[in-house]
Amino acid sequence: MRSPRALRAQISRSALEANAIALAGPDAVADLRRDAYGHGIAIVAAALNAAGVHRAVVDDRDSDTLRHAGLTPAEGAATLDPRDLFGLPGGGGEPVMRLVGSVLSLKLLRAGEGVSYNYTHVAAQDTRIALVSGGYGQGVVRAIGNHADVEIAGVRHPIVGRVAMDVCVVDVGHAPVQADDEVVYFGGAGPAAGALAEWERVTGLRGAEIVCALGLHVAREEAA
């Protein structure tokens, strides 16, 4: 059974439908390969059907799932840009995927002490760090260590040190952060809404590549 504290991808049905409605038309063909870029073929196909988009390019294994949702598999190239459909950097629309984890534990970090592999981050002053769920084993790109933030209780805090297999270390300072608090890596409507663009700049990967890898490795849940 999956722990509620584990890293997970929340897929916003309302954002999907709003994006799809803006793109719908008689020639609209969505690209839903690779399990809808990691967003989940069943969730995305149902939202597209409700929004008036009825054709999509899919991997052969997903043809039956697509038909069950009321869509028709299409031949050739898609006409809709996945960046617009899924609200990815460089496109329009609302972000559809919200990547969230949890604070697992907290500890004091003294000035001069380092964190994570090879101590690539050393504290300049006494502070507090949080161990949060999500690591390269789930698709969190290792390059974001020391170069990206997460959102906790509406405030952004830096990821410090190297990303580990299952966790990241976050410097929360003296903020009132507690164990089990939700951690937002990107997406949603808060300060981390556009953080996926930062991941693109830091890693050199496209947002579509990042969300696809994450969506295929972590548990997904449909959200409003």
- pLDDT per position as a tens digit, 17-71: 999 999 999 999 999 999 999 999 999 999 999 999 999 999 999 999 999 999 9
Q: How far apart are CA 48 and CA 41, in angstroms?
A: 10
- Rounded Cα gap, residues 162 and 133, in angstroms: 14
Tokens standing for 185? Answer: 């890596």
Q: Are 76 and 50 in contact (CB under 8 A)?
A: no
User: What mean pLDDT value characterizes the chain?
Assistant: 96
What does the alpha-carbon distance between residue 10 and residue 185 come to, in Å, rounded to a whole number?
Answer: 11
**What do you get for the CA distance between the two ends of the chain, in Å?**
23
How much is the pLDDT for 177? 97
**Average pLDDT of the segment spanning 186-199:** 96
Residue 169: strand pairing partners: 131, 160
pLDDT at 3 (0 to 100): 74
The predicted model scores a pTM of 0.95
Indicate if the pLDDT at residue 219 is higher than 60: yes
pLDDT tens digits, one per residue of 77-104: 999 999 999 999 999 999 999 999 999 9
Q: Which residue has 């006409």 as its token pair?
A: 79
List, for residues 136-154, the tens digit of each pLDDT value.
Answer: 999 999 999 999 999 999 9
Across residues 159-179, what is the average pLDDT? 97
Specify the pLDDT at position 2: 58
Per-residue pLDDT reduced to its tens digit, 98-121: 999 999 999 999 999 999 989 999
4, pLDDT greater than 90: no
Q: Is 137 exposed, middle or buried (0-12, 13-18, 19+ CB in 10 A)?
A: middle
* pLDDT reading at 1 higher than 90: no
Burial 18-38, CB ≥16 within 10 A → b, else e? bbbeebeeeebbbbbbbbbbb
* Structure-model confidence comparison of residues 4 and 127, the more confident one: 127
pLDDT at 62: 97
170: confidence class by pLDDT, cuts 50, 70, 90: very high
